[in-house]
Amino acid sequence: GDSVTQTEGQVTVSESKSLIINCTYSATSIGYPNLFWYVRYPGEGLQLLLKVITAGQKGSSRGFEATYNKEATSFHLQKASVQESDSAVYYCALSDRGSALGRLHFGAGTQLIVIP
Amino acid sequence: GPKVLQIPSHQIIDMGQMVTLNCDPVSNHLYFYWYKQILGQQMEFLVNFYNGKVMEKSKLFKDQFSVERPDGSYFTLKIQPTALEDSAVYFCASSLVGVISNERLFFGHGTKLSVL
C-alpha cells in the first residue's frame, strides 16, 4: 500500500538557520500521488502548508519549499531561515489516487523546535 | 479561516460503554472524514462520508464503529461497545471537494478518547 516516511521525532534549529525535514514515499496506486505538507501549530488544528500534484514541480508557502522528486520518491521540506513562529509539528502526506475520495496517508510527524 | 470544531476535547469512558464523538464541520463542506492517531503512531484514515453515505473505510473502521450526519448537523463517530485499543485521538476533517481533486482538508483539534 501507500506509505510515507519522514524525519523522526524532533528537530531543533536556531533561529535564522536553515531547515530540512526529509520525506520519502511509496505509492502503489495507479499513476503517482499528490503530495502535501500539513502543519500543526501549538493549540491549533492541522492545516495545509503546501501541496504539489505534478512531478518535478515545487510548492512553496510561508518561506517553506518542497519539490516533488518522482525519481527519488522524495518530497523534502526546506526553509532557508527559520523563525521562532515556525515551531510546530510537520506532517508529510500523500493522497491515494486509488480511492474514490482520495484518502490521505500521513507520515509520523516531525516536531520542529526553533531556538531564539 | 474556516474551522472544524470537535466536542469534547477529551472523553474518558469505561470499556464496553458507548461513546459518540461530535464534529461540527465547515458549513458548506460536503465531504467528511475521520482519522485516528494512537499515541506515538501515525495518523491513519478511518472513513470518509459523502451524501449521507460511507464512501470508503479502512480496516481500522471496525464493525463497532458507525458514522452519520443527520439533517446536516454534527458529523458523528459512534463506537459501541468501546475497547481498550480504541484509546486514541480522533480527528475530524471536512472539505468542499474530495481530496482526489486536490482540495485541502480542514481538520479539527481532535478528541482524545481514553478507554479505561
Contact B56 A99 (CB under 8 A): yes
Bond prior to B81 in cis (omega within 30° of 0) = yes
- Chosen for mutation from A32, A49, A61, A101 (greatest number of chain B CBs closer than 10 Å) is A101
Residues A79-115 have pLDDT tens digits of 999 999 999 999 999 987 666 676 889 999 999 999 9
In whole numbers, what is the pLDDT of chain A averaged over residues?
A: 92
Which of A45-54, B40-49, B91-100 is the least confident region? B91-100
Q: Give yes or no for residue A64 having a pLDDT over 60.
A: yes
In B, minimum Cα distance to A52 occurs at: B102
pLDDT at A2: 82
CA of A56, closest CA in chain B: separation in Å? 17
CA–CA dist B14, B34 (Å, integer): 22
CA–CA dist B107, B4 (Å, integer): 6
Nearest to B46 by CA among A99, A45, A109, A9: A99
Contact A36, A48 (CB under 8 A): yes
pLDDT at B36: 97
Contact B42 A101 (CB under 8 A): no
C-alpha cell at B112: 482524545
Residues B74-107 have pLDDT tens digits of 999 999 999 999 999 999 999 887 655 556 889 9
pLDDT at B109: 94
Residue A15 CA, distance from chain mean position: 20
Element (H, E) at B28: none
Collect all residues of chain A within an 8 Å Cβ-Cβ radius of residue B23: none
Task: Select from A45, A102, A106 the Cβ nearest to the Cβ of B99.
Answer: A102
Percent above pLDDT 70 for chain B: 95
pLDDT at B99: 57
Contact B6, B23 (CB under 8 A): yes
